[in-house]
Structure 1
Amino acid sequence: MPFVFRIPGLVLSLFCLYFVSPLPAQEVKHRVLVSTDVGGTDPDDFQSLIHLFMYADRVSIEGLVSSPFGGGRKSAILEIIDLYEEDFPRLASRSEHFPSPGYLRDVSKQGALSSAPYAGHARSTEGSDWIIRCARRESERPLWVLVWGGLEDLAQALHDAPDIKDKIRIYWIGGPNKKWSVNSYAYIAQNHSDLWMIEANATYRGWFMDSESPDHLKGEAYYAGYIQGKGAMGEAFKDYYGGRIKMGDTPSLAYLLHGNPEEPEGESWGGSFVRITRSARHIFDGASQQMDTLPAYATLEWQFEGTRRAAPADSICFRMKIEDQVWPGYYLGQGRYGIRYSPKRAETGSYETESGFPELHGLRGGYTSTNPWPGKASATDIPLGAHWYSDRPDPALFIEDQQGAQTIAKFREEFLLDWAKRWEWLAE
């Protein structure tokens, strides 16, 4: 119950809100470029784009880049912009700062179409070039690059224009995206460790893990109570997860809406993080076994000896099946072959290789990954610079096995009800 102090002509209420306190809304319009795999392997990015466009008056959107994985293409971004265009008159009547649909189409760019090879980068794309162009604009404000999928276009931009590093801030939804983008991640961590980076491998899950939420915010209840019947975007929202809130990438935007984004260790709608000085990496010279233990989200590198071949480096020479998913392995030169992987959770995994080259076919082994990340230090860890942040390891901040998720979940009611007010703008 709040303590109330009565002063003549004034009532001052001090609210003691266990574990949660209101956060200040941001007054500065942050420059934002979103790299998204919308239309790829997970439909939650469609939900996140709808959320982004409903808050587009609060930030300055400078780019929307389609990056891997799967079938994600720029056309999927344009689909959501078409919905936004239908709702634009109602949104614009509430704020003159909503960008026009035409402008959003103009800043939508096609990025990489597939995962990077072992080198972590390949060739420039319209998307990677656009990142460079936006980062180099004269501005006293940094460009916030919000990465909702693979790091391929960011890695390519850094490779082509390392001068942009001091002009950008990165909030990356890692976890499963790290698994798919591990080569680009390894390239960035090894070659651009001085980057300003939030690597959110598990914290973001507090956005949709609703076990501790009131009933009206759980499951499909939020859609039924606040979204259904609200404009074209509201009508389309149910096409993704049946309207159930997922939006696993949205915390990167929420981080800029409430809190101080220059202080990752503070509180925000997008989580609270801790500086890490190393990225966990284990290099296996040959096979590994299930007794080999490493942190979840670590970079695993297997390197195998084989026949020297007159093949260019980064040629795919074998594949590795890990837990029903298949990953490419590459020729590194000098008779060495390599493959990287990153487990997205604490698990015991196994693998088997297949190849037309006998010495690389039928290799079997395993690994065990554990919480928390980045775990105990290893001699093969990748050293990181002064501005690399990741999930808080405090056990009290886990939800189930998801590290740091409480730092977002504790604001769940606050940010969802704020969004509900905007859905009312689209009511008939």
Structure 2
Amino acid sequence: MIRTILYSLLFILSFTTIAQQKVPVKPRILISSDIGGTDPDDNQSFTHLFMYSEQFNIEGLVSSPSFGDGNKEEILRMINLYEKDLPKLQKHQKRLLSPDYLRSITKQGRHGGAPYKGYTTATEGSEWIIKCAKKESKEPLWILVWGGLEDLAQALHDSPEIQNKIRVVWIGGPNKKWSANSYAYIVEHFPNLWFIENNSSYYGFFSNNNEPDSVKTTDYYDKYMKNAGNLGADFKNYYDGNVKMGDTPTLLYMMDGNPNDPTRESWGGSYEKFTQSPRVVFNGITTIKDTVAYCTVTEFHLKGPVKNIPADSSCFWMETSLKGKVQKWPGYYLSNGEYAIKYVPKQAEILHYKFVSNMPDFPTQEGVLVVDNLWPGKKHSTDYKLGDNWYTDKADPNLYDGKIQGGKTILKWRKAILMDWAKRWNWLSENK
């Protein structure tokens, strides 16, 4: 009996040690978020960030909505909620960051996606990225991107020397779809950047499979957040309190072990190197015989009327359908009757699309494209060549969580992550 108890204790201690390892140095981080734009999970992730803020040297909070109506006022609103709950939180953790400091580093980035070339003009957000990156420090600035890459692309364009001072952890997937032009600019012109491209692993944090030991994100609110301060009350406004937080794995990655080694096991996933980022170019429309991997930069080059249109002007659209709703993706006039668009499919599907324009002499065309479920898939001569420090979701079939590539590299830690967070929610549930 004693031996059984001893073995059980050793197992628990071993699991705890593996589940969250010491971070060598408190990381310098800057968040670029589309909060208030495409997806309310950013509000959830900001709640998590503020409740663990003592674990980071936070240097910037940038609103970068590549789509939608997001703005820095939404970040400031979340800080106000955090400020109301801070007295209770500080009874247990004195080193949480002050609301006034967080307000001072909140900046507005670009509204909307970048044009075909991938950048436009500087913003308060892009300039803040440059300023933080240029600080004298022995440690890199970790830029955690929860939305589009527009402000990062702008910062790199305006001050390319910062590429050696920053490291990027990006939640791609749907964000890559909205930010195709900026991604293409970065990957083509900065192949030696240190970059983690998480296109799918993050789904494992909220996939809610039926493993017996799984902590359900669908009932977590009622068990641990209900009546837990102002942040808890606000959390109910996003997905009815269901925990999604698709951007939080970037924080979890910085909270567990040495972030300089993406191949390690960590709360925020485990990644592998890749040397070519897929780019496929079609001269004309595609058919059911054409296939690309999901998250591939897919370029369509079309012939059309010769026009006197300003360079990089959007003048036609690619129409696709998502859950019965039409989505429009901008295409651009290059010159001499040449038109082009970069499109990134976010999931495996048979994609039906249409090219349309308000120009009466632009030919409306319809096509279909097969998108498969293995990233980055086979190599192409048109792929972007990468340097030595680009990482992405592991392709091992055993690490798929259902259809989610790499999902199990995060799913396996979900119970430990959510139970650790539950302790902090309990601080806010105390009556005193």
What letter matches 1:328 in structure 2? P
The change in CA–CA distance for 1:12 and 1:41 in structure 2 (over 3 A counts) is closer
Shift of residue 212, structure 1, vs aligned partner: 3.7
**What does residue range 220-369 of structure 1 map to in structure 2 within 5 Å?**
220-323=218-321, 324-369=326-371
Residue range with higher mean Cα deviation, 159-168 or 327-336: 327-336
Report the 3-state secondary structure (helix = DSSP H, G, I; strand = E; otherwise coil) of the residue aligned with 1:301. strand
Q: TM-score with structure 1 length normalisation?
A: 0.95
CA RMSD for the aligned pairs? 2.2
Show structure 1 runs of 5+ residues with no match. none
Q: Deviation at 1:220?
A: 3.1
Query: Aligned pair count?
Result: 424
CA, structure 1 residues 25+423, in 2 after alignment: closer, same or farther (shift >3 Å)? Answer: farther
SS in 2 for 1:149: coil
SS of the residue corresponding to residue 340 of structure 2 reads strand
From 28, 36, 41, the equivalent of 1:39 is 36
1:119-170, Cα deviation, whole Å (9 max, x unpaired)? 0001100000000000000111111100000000000000001111111110
1:118 corresponds in structure 2 to 116
1:151 has 2:153 as partner: no
**C-alpha distance in 2, partners of 1:106/1:3?**
55
Q: Secondary structure at the match of 2:388?
A: coil
1:138 aligned residue: 136
Q: 1:326 is paired with a residue of what secondary structure?
A: strand
Distance 2:257 2:201 in 1: 16
Structure-to-structure mapping, 1:379-390, within 5 angstroms: 379-390=381-392
Aligned to 1:186: 184
- Residue aligned with 2:78, SS: helix
Could you tell me how far apart the structure 1 residues matched to 2:92 and 2:304 are?
65
Q: Deviations over 1:392-422 (max 9, x none)?
A: 0111111121110100000000111011111
Cα distance in 2 between the residues matched to 1:53 and 1:219 = 20
Question: Residue 140 of structure 1: SS of its match in structure 2?
Answer: coil
Deviation (angstroms), 1:216: 7.7
Deviation at 1:309, TM superposition (A): 2.2
**Residues 288 and 365, structure 1, Cα contact 8 Å, conserved in 2:** yes
CA distance in 1, matches of 2:288, 2:361: 22
How much does 1:358 deviate?
Answer: 4.4
Point out the more displaced range, 64-73 or 90-99: 90-99
**Pairwise CA distance, 1:96:** 2.8
State the distance in 1 between where 2:385 and 2:8 align. 53
| Cα drift, residue 219 of structure 1 | 4.0
Equivalent residue of 1:57, what SS? helix
Q: Post-superposition, which runs of at least 4 consecutive aligned residues in structure 1 deviate over 6 A?
A: 1-6, 15-18
- Match of residue 409 from structure 1: 411
Does the CA contact (< 8 Å) of 2:24 and 2:258 recur in 1? no
1:412–1:314 CA distance, 2 compared to 1 (3 A): same
Give deviations 1:328-384, integer Å, cap 9, x for gaps: 110112321100111111111011111133453311111111121010111111111
Partner secondary structure for residue 265 of structure 1: coil
Deviations 1:43-79 (A, max 9, x none): 1110000000001010011100000120111111011
Superposed displacement of residue 11, structure 1:
11
2:163 to 162, 165, 169: 165
Does the 8 Å contact 2:281/2:299 carry over to 1?
Answer: yes
Is contact 1:290-1:350 (8 Å) kept? Answer: no
Aligned letter for 2:147?
Answer: G
Distance 1:14 1:420, change over 3 A: closer
Separation of aligned partners in 2, 1:296 and 1:2: 53
Distance 1:85 1:213, change over 3 A: farther
SS of corresponding position for 1:360: coil
Displacement of 1:17:
7.9
Q: Per the alignment, do residues 239 and 214 of structure 1 end up closer, same or farther by CA in structure 2, a change over 3 Å counting?
A: farther
Inter-partner Cα distance in structure 1 for 2:231 and 2:362: 50
Q: Which residue in the other structure is 1:22 paired with?
A: 19
Q: Secondary structure at the match of 2:208?
A: coil
Seen in structure 2, the aligned counterparts of structure 1 residues 380 and 131 have a Cα distance that, compared at 3 Å, is same
| Paired letter, 1:203 | S
Identity rate, percent: 49
Kept in 2, the 8 Å contact 1:3–1:14? The answer is: no
Residues 407 and 12 of structure 1: CA distance in aligned 2, closer, same or farther (over 3 Å) = closer
Shift of 1:26: 2.2
Provide closer, same or farther for how the CA distance between residues 287 and 26 of structure 1 changes in structure 2, counting only shifts above 3 A: same
CA–CA distance in 1 between the matches of 2:257 and 2:265?
6
Greater alpha carbon shift after TM alignment, 33-42 vs 219-228: 219-228
Q: CA deviation at 1:247?
A: 0.3
Residues 116 and 184 in structure 1, CA contact (< 8 A), matched pair in contact too: yes
Partners of 2:128 and 2:212 in 1: CA distance: 42
**Contact kept in structure 2, 1:2 and 1:14, CA below 8 Å:** no
2:217 and 2:244 in contact (8 A); partners too: no
The CA distance in 2 between the partners of 1:359 and 1:141, in whole Å, is: 55
